[in-house]
Chains A and B, each alone.
Chain A
Amino acid sequence: MRDYIVFLWRCFRLSFVGDWRYGAWMLTLTAIALLGLNAYCRQLVFGLATTGMTDQVSWGLYIANFTFLVGMAAAAVMLVIPVYIYRNKELHDLVIFGELAAVSFIIMCLLFVTVDLGRPDRVHHLFLRFNFPLSMLTWDVIVLNGYLLLNLHICGYLIYCAYRKREPRKALFVVPFVLIAIVWAVSIHTVTAFLYVGLGARPFWNSAIIAPRFLASAFAAGPAFIVLALQVIRRFTDYNVPQKALMTLRQIILVALTINVFLLMSEVFTEFYADTAHSASTHYLFFGIGENRALVPWIWTSVGMTAVALLILYLPLARSLRYLNLACVLIIIGVWIEKGMGLIVPAFIPTPIGEIVEYRPTVNEILVCLGIWAAGILLFTISVRITIPVLSGRLTIDHPYTTEAEPPLHRSTSATALGIERSTS
């Protein structure tokens, strides 16, 4: 127990250690997070009227970001599946980064849900009267928190074992949990999709294809984020990220994105060819209704970005990292728009009784969102900052990591030496 507290303390200390670039990055993120916190406090005082939401469009940017991030969190399995099902060696050591990202994303999800609540002070009511299994929101509470605990356990256990210089007991503590986490990851995104799909009042959501589309787009955007994050890790630390691993991820993104585009086309065809009164929301999204066209530029940007990304991925071009990175950025932004603004907002326009009220997020609302993003990325940075020295054996139970004892991280010992160390740990 005492060892564990010392471990946590050392991790805490370590999160402040780094060169000036690390410091500047952390400072910037903290500043943005605090700005967001300030905006949220304002919202607490004046109510959700500080957002652009109305009775007509009662969910906006918060739930949009939440939906997108659930997908990003679920996408950690796209690293896990190749490793544990297909025994892919290159990705093996990188799984932990996927899971760390999942932890950060889930925490961001929970934050986004919390800021969306009108009465966050009453969250304890969830423990007193839980409308399970009828309300899909209660399902979501269970799967999201369960997923968070699972991933915290897996990451925490692996890191702590490395710190204690013990061999993790794979059969008992890793593999069963990892396998459960795979199924669970699919469940978080499916349940989140069902949250919307189950509403007969909103024809735009009331479609069976939403859940598969969620998964497909998430399995493209999630690994895209991991590709970018891994390159940052490779650049600024001495952690060995094999090129082959990135190329495996590229394959995954390619397949997932192709399926996503196909599903999108299927949906667009159904809506526009049949062209019933129920396609009003889709019309609004893609072409606007009358003068109301707020989402039109967004969705076409998303479509354009996805198309370009798909083209790049299919060309041999994407074997060069520069183009792969470009594709990844396009996918992340494209899917963010599609799963966020493109999925949540149009379902409310027109309202079930035909009124058209457009939604424009306020500055305060955007600040809260940026704050949560900054907090999440801060969390991810810290967790990576801690994980790398621990996994590479530079912070262990008998060897505290200090600035004096170690050269700056990015100019440390050679990668091959670390590689050997890691495989033994």
Chain B
Amino acid sequence: MAALVGALSPLRELDENDFGSVEKFIQKHYKEMDGEEMRQALERISREVEKRYDLRPDIRDVRPMDGVEFVYALNISRCIGCRKCVHACVQENNQSRDPEIQYIRVVEMPRGTLDIEKGNHHYDRPTVPDREHYYVPIQCHQCAKPPCVKVCPVEATWQEPDGITVIDYDWCIGCRYCEAACPYWARRFNFAEPKLPKKDVNPRMSYLSNRPRHKGVMEKCHFCLHRTRAGELPACLEVCPTGARKFGNVLDPQSEVSEILKTKRVFVLKEEAGTLPRFFYYFDERHPRSGGDREAAADGQEAIA
């Protein structure tokens, strides 16, 4: 008996935030909460944040806009591998600083290959870019056929109408099956309780994006939905010094991303995974096809038809 108590003794150090809140235990899945229940959940989260970080967050449940499907486009010719996007993301999204959780991984690629497995993940140069290499930032590709969503046993992760795959941090059971299923290694697990200094908290939060997480749950890039669904740009894009990152609504034919997809040399990473990413890479062209050329090409095609 004494041995049993002894064996259980580490439980004394349990954080009250982890277990014990009945409110949290009976909280419904995001999709099943009505307005009032969501209000209560947000109120509870606010209280928790206030207690932990001494600040009252501005937390909402930001819903997708109608007629919007977000895509990301990244100019491979422009990216210099400075990793500013990585750190802006960590700050914006209240990630754990120790251990630091990063949604974006920038891979330094040698010439002559598109095979991401040949890249260097831990390059450490005094200056970038290196002339012999090019750089491929990788984050969640917000696939149209997401394997992570398919494998989740409790539907804690799903795809929203605007194409963003999100996680209900209060629903995830922490099995890490989605992490094993992701071909872009885009998911991060909180192996330890996240450490986020009070001074670093970003008070602008939403339920499905950057509110503080606890240990034992999965998290990932959500295209900064608390910003982008309000018409702003993702943090990683705003900070990019070279303008390599482009973001927007692909359903709007006038948007910059639509223009890029129509006119640039675009490719997706690991196309063979068959997951139909919404994250596109493209090249600058040395001799950009002029509008006239494009019309000529179109004429040519009509002629063939």
Q: Which of B18, B155, B191 contacts A54 (CB 8 A)?
A: B191
A38→B10 contact, CB < 8 A:
yes
B157 vs chain A, min Cβ distance (A): 10
Is B117 within 8 A of A350, CB to CB?
A: yes
Cβ of B78 under 8 Å from chain A: no
CA distance A54 to B188 in the complex (A): 9
Q: Are A49 and B119 in contact (CB under 8 A)?
A: no
Q: Which interface residue of A53, A119, A141, A280 has the most chain B CB atoms within 10 A? A: A119
The segment out of A195-203, A290-298, A381-389 that lies at the interface is A195-203
Point out the residues of chain A lying under 8 angstroms from B119, CB to CB: 353-354
Interface residues contributed by chain B, number (CB under 8 Å) = 63
Q: Which of A20-45 contact B (CB under 8 A)?
A: 30-31, 34-35, 37-38, 41-42, 44-45
Per a CB cutoff under 8 Å, which of A47, A59, A355 touches B121?
Answer: A355
- Name which of A130-138, A156-164, A211-219, A264-272 contacts chain B: A130-138
Write out the residue numbers on chain A whose beta carbons fall within 8 Å of the beta carbon of B150: 134-135
Q: Which of A119-153 contact B (CB under 8 A)?
A: 119-123, 125-126, 128-131, 134-138, 141
Is residue B289 within 8 Å, beta carbon to beta carbon, of the partner chain? no
A131, B155: Cβ atoms closer than 8 Å: yes
Q: In the complex the two chains form, is A34's CB within 8 Å of B4's CB?
A: yes
What residues of A have a CB within 8 angstroms of the CB of B180 in the complex? 58-59, 199, 201-202, 347-348
Chain-A contact segment, one of B48-56, B58-66, B82-90, B166-174: B166-174
Say yes or no: A119 contacts B173, CB within 8 Å.
Answer: yes
Q: How would residues 17 to 49 of chain B score, 1 for a CB under 8 Å from any chain A CB and 0 otherwise?
A: 011000001001100000000000000000000
Contact among A37, A122, A138, A198 for B7, CB-based, below 8 A: A37
Interface string of B263-302 (1 = CB under 8 A from A): 0000000100111000000000000000000000000000
B8 an interface residue at 8 Å Cβ cutoff?
yes
User: Does B151 lie within 8 Å of A135, measured CB to CB?
Assistant: yes
Give Cα A347 to B9, complex, Å.
36
- Interface residue from B118, B154, B175 paired with A116 (Cβ < 8 Å): B175
Task: List CB contacts (< 8 Å) of A358-395 with chain B.
Answer: none
Give the secondary structure class of B's interface: loop
Beta-carbon contact of B184 and A131 below 8 Å: no
Docked Cα-Cα span, A128 to B31, in Å, equals 12
Q: Is A117 in the interface zone, CB < 8 Å from B?
A: yes
A118 at the interface (CB under 8 A from B): yes
A residues less than 8 Å from B184 (CB atoms): 352-353
B68 on interface, CB distance cutoff 8 Å: no
- Contacting residue for B153 out of A121, A135, A355, CB 8 A: A135
Is A86's CB within 8 Å of the partner chain B? no
How many Å lie between the Cα of A348 and that of B6 in the bound state?
A: 36
Q: Give the chain A neighbours of B69 by CB distance below 8 A.
A: none
Which of B99, B116, B153 gathers the greatest number of chain A CB atoms within 10 Å? Answer: B153
Name B181's contact: one of A30, A121, A201, A348 (CB within 8 Å).
Answer: A201
14 contacts between A and B (CB under 8 A): A38-B6, A44-B14, A45-B10, A54-B191, A58-B180, A120-B174, A122-B154, A125-B29, A129-B155, A135-B150, A199-B181, A353-B105, A354-B117, A355-B121
8 closest A-B pairs by beta carbon, nearest first, are: A118-B174, A118-B216, A354-B117, A49-B192, A201-B183, A47-B215, A137-B153, A38-B7
